[in-house]
Amino acid sequence: MGLRRIFMLVTMLATVIVTILGLSQSAKAQSPTYGVGRTPTADEIHAWDISISPTGKELPQGHGTAKQGAQVFVMRGCGACHGVSGSGGPAPTLIKSDGKTKSQFPCLTPCVNDSNVMALHSPYAVTMWDYIRRAMPLNSEGTLKPDEVYALTAFLLYKNGVIKEDEVMDAASLPKVKMPNQDGAGMPPEWKHGTPRLQGYP
Amino acid sequence: MDPKKSGRRGFLKESAALVGAVGAAMGVAPSIAGETPAMDDMSSKEPKELIAYGERSHFVTSTRIPVAERMSPDDFGMTFHVLTPLQDSVGIITPSSLHYIATHRGSYVPDIDPQEHKLMIHGMVDRPLIFTMDDLKRLPSVSRTHFIECIGNRARPSHKTVQQTHGMTSCSEWTGVLLSLLLKEAGVQQGASWVVAEGAETVKGATTVPLAKAMDDCMVCYGQNGEPVRPQQGYPLRLLVPGFEGIHNIKYLRRIKVVDQYYMTYNDYGHIAADPKVAALGTQLGPKSIITFPSGGQKLLGPGFYEITGLAWSGGGAIRSVEVSTDGGQTWKAAEFRSPSYPMAHARFGFNWKWDGKECLLMSRCTDELGTVQPTRADVAKYWNKPIDNNSQITGADNTVFPWRITSDGSVLNGLA
């Protein structure tokens, strides 16, 4: 056996070993260890995934205006908990009051009164859309149609002076709403294991 | 009269007589004062029921109370914030039935059939997965002792008891599966940086957690203190984010979405602050301690020996040391651990003390394994360049040193008042 042939054999063998190692490594990184649980169907993911990011990329089709929202607010009985005028009820204040009507409840964490009206405090309008869709009306959540959610969001934004009455809210316009508190969300520093929560804090 | 009960009472009497006879035979004179009263128990339950599931003595009356500001249940039947009776606590585990409660802006405790409950992991993963409760119990489990504390756990001068000043922290042994295990099963994709966790209750409470934390020590828990998680704590499944403020510990966990940005859910938005420093103070909780005996509303019986005892915890890791001051913070002496000190868990400390009967101010402060020392209100005021004011709310989470005032008659009062 010539040197050249031995060299070729060694090279081939090395290639095979590297390939096997590489395969097993990528297999280790990519395949599940336990294989417990099942794959959800696309429909299941679609039905469960109600998260809306600040970019609004998950917003569904639909649209609504403040005028339509005022009707939905009445039709769906929102005032029963939030107050007919959107404040003064036992549920969170939705429309900043005239300042004379004081909420009967204190500022729990997070607040439910004038100091923390969602349209004024949330840095993103889509957070309002997300919460109305996921949580309201209480105990009947999930029953509002996208158009109704857009309309309610538009209504609350308009009543708090954020948008004009005739502005149409949809998947394109809602993420672009300039919110009064859009610069109010400071991000915490990147979290790292074994690091104090804030360097320099006593 | 209940014939069953009278039968048992008769048996107890005979037993007592027998013990007395044995005592007499051994030369010990039975006396009224020395006898253990063998009263029938006062439980409304039948002995058969109590054999199946025990209950505490009717002499033990410690209970939770709703926060003064908002009743639970309210007019709608919703639960808000409910406080743990820390003044009666011993050791480091909070009984599940006395664990503090805080719900996502008030909600109903859902009645979830564990056979129906599922957890979905999806988003930026190679393999979206759905786990049933049975699936989760097939996977390798971990049991860890961790506290949960609400960011609303703030002492005010008007508070009378430690239940009011500090009752929104509790500690349990949690059992479940590491979230990192589930995320690895699903295969987290490049570029992912956060996870959104969501509950199955009426308002579908959700929160955003850094992926680094999710992969570090977060747990998906089905067990609490040796039994299934209680409904008020998230039955059948809750997320545990050890050391982070309470609202991250999503109850009734049904979904985890792996994402590449902060999602600003309703619960997240409630805690935002323009200043990133304030945001940092509201995420991982700092070292905190409180004396639970003697504490507000209790009374010292007179000068002499007492063990000062309390709890210390930190979101930054295990508690390394605790000190106690009996002179209002002028001098500090080392307290002893009376329990193990686990990471992100309550640790029980004790301090042997002889009270001279004079008015004094008791306080504790702790240091965690990162070397962070629990600050005083003065330290915090200095950091923010604000005047010291016992009535003002501490910026970020409040982990400041808290004083109890002992008056010369042995009464214990809020030292901030």
Helical spans, DSSP H, in B189-275: 211-216, 266-269
| B84 contacts B163 by C-beta, under 8 angstroms | yes
∠ CA B253-B257-B262 to the nearest 5 degrees? 110
| B243 contacts B151 by C-beta, under 8 angstroms | no
For residue A85, CA distances in Å to A89, A157, A162 come to 9, 14, 17
Chain B residue with Cα closest to A55: B263
Backbone angles phi, psi at B259, to 5 degrees: -135, 175
- pLDDT value at B228 more than 80: yes
Mutate to test the interface with A, among B134, B266, B380, B394 (most CBs of A within 10 A): B266
Q: Which residue has the higher pLDDT, A153 or A26?
A: A153
Chain B residue with Cα closest to A33: B185
| B199 contacts B62 by C-beta, under 8 angstroms | no
Identify the CA nearest to B129 among candidates A193, A25, A45.
A45
Interchain proximity B280–A189, CB inside 8 Å:
yes
Of A32, A50, A194, the CB nearest to B204: A50
| B266 contacts B206 by C-beta, under 8 angstroms | yes
CA distance A142 to chain B (A): 10
Identify the CA nearest to B283 among candidates B341, B219, B220, B210.
B210
Using one digit for the tens of pLDDT, what is the confidence trace for B12-21?
444 444 444 4
Question: Could you give the CA distance from residue B16 to residue B20 in angstroms, rounded to a whole number?
Answer: 6
- pLDDT value at B29 more than 70: no
Q: Which residues of B touch A122 (CB under 8 A)?
A: 264, 269
Q: Which residues of A touch B266 (CB under 8 A)?
A: 127, 130-131, 134-135
Longest dimension (CA), chain B: 81
Chain A residue with Cα closest to B140: A34
Chain A residue with Cα closest to B269: A122
Chain A residue with Cα closest to B206: A51
CA distance A45 to chain B (A): 8
Interchain proximity A202–B273, CB inside 8 Å:
no
- Specify the amino acid at residue A41: T
CA distance A109 to chain B (A): 6
- Bridge pairing between strands B253-259 and A169-170: unpaired
- pLDDT value at A31 more than 50: yes
DSSP B346-378: -EEEEEEEEE-SS-EEEEEEEEETT-PBPPPHH
∠ CA B66-B221-B81 to the nearest 5 degrees? 10
Mean pLDDT, all residues of chain A: 83
Query: What pLDDT is recorded for position A49?
Result: 95
- Bridge pairing between strands B118-123 and B253-259: parallel
Q: Which residues of B touch A112 (CB under 8 A)?
A: 105
Of the listed ranges B180-189, B246-255, B264-273, the one predicted with least confidence: B264-273
Mutate to test the interface with B, among A36, A41, A116, A190 (most CBs of B within 10 A): A36
- Which among A119-128, B76-85, B330-339 has the top mean pLDDT? B330-339
Q: Which residues of B touch A191 (CB under 8 A)?
A: 210, 212-213, 283-284
Interchain proximity B128–A195, CB inside 8 Å:
no
Q: Which residues of B touch A90 (CB under 8 A)?
A: 74-76
Q: Which residues of A touch B80 (CB under 8 A)?
A: 108
Residue B240: strand pairing partners: B219
Chain A residue with Cα closest to B401: A202
CA distance A52 to chain B (A): 7
Mutate to test the interface with A, among B133, B149, B180, B269 (most CBs of A within 10 A): B269
Residue A63: strand pairing partners: A170
Interchain proximity A32–B105, CB inside 8 Å:
no
Using one digit for the tens of pLDDT, what is the confidence trace for B206-223?
999 999 999 999 999 999
Interchain proximity B370–A106, CB inside 8 Å:
no
Of B70, B254, B263, the CB nearest to A53: B263
Interchain proximity B264–A45, CB inside 8 Å:
no
Q: Which residues of B touch A193 (CB under 8 A)?
A: 212, 216-217
- pLDDT value at A47 more than 60: yes
Query: What pLDDT is recorded for position B76?
Result: 75
Q: Which residue has the higher pLDDT, B105 or B171?
A: B171
pTM comes to: 0.87
Chain B residue with Cα closest to A141: B202
Mean pLDDT, all residues of chain B: 90
- pLDDT value at B22 more than 80: no
Using one digit for the tens of pLDDT, what is the confidence trace for B261-290?
999 888 887 777 888 888 888 889 999 999
Interchain proximity B272–A202, CB inside 8 Å:
no
Query: What pLDDT is recorded for position B13?
Result: 45
**In a 3-state reduction of DSSP, which class is residue A68?**
helix
Of A30, A44, A50, the CB nearest to B187: A30
- pLDDT value at A37 more than 70: yes
∠ CA B221-B222-B224 to the nearest 5 degrees? 85
* Structure tokens, B2: 């209940």
First and final CA of chain A: distance in angstroms?
75
* Structure tokens, A184: 């109010």
Question: Could you give the CA distance from residue B201 to residue B129 in angstroms, rounded to a whole number?
Answer: 21
Interface size between A and B, measured as CB pairs under 8 A: 198
- pLDDT value at B255 more than 60: yes
Chain B residue with Cα closest to A124: B264
- The H or E element spanning position A157 is helix A146-159
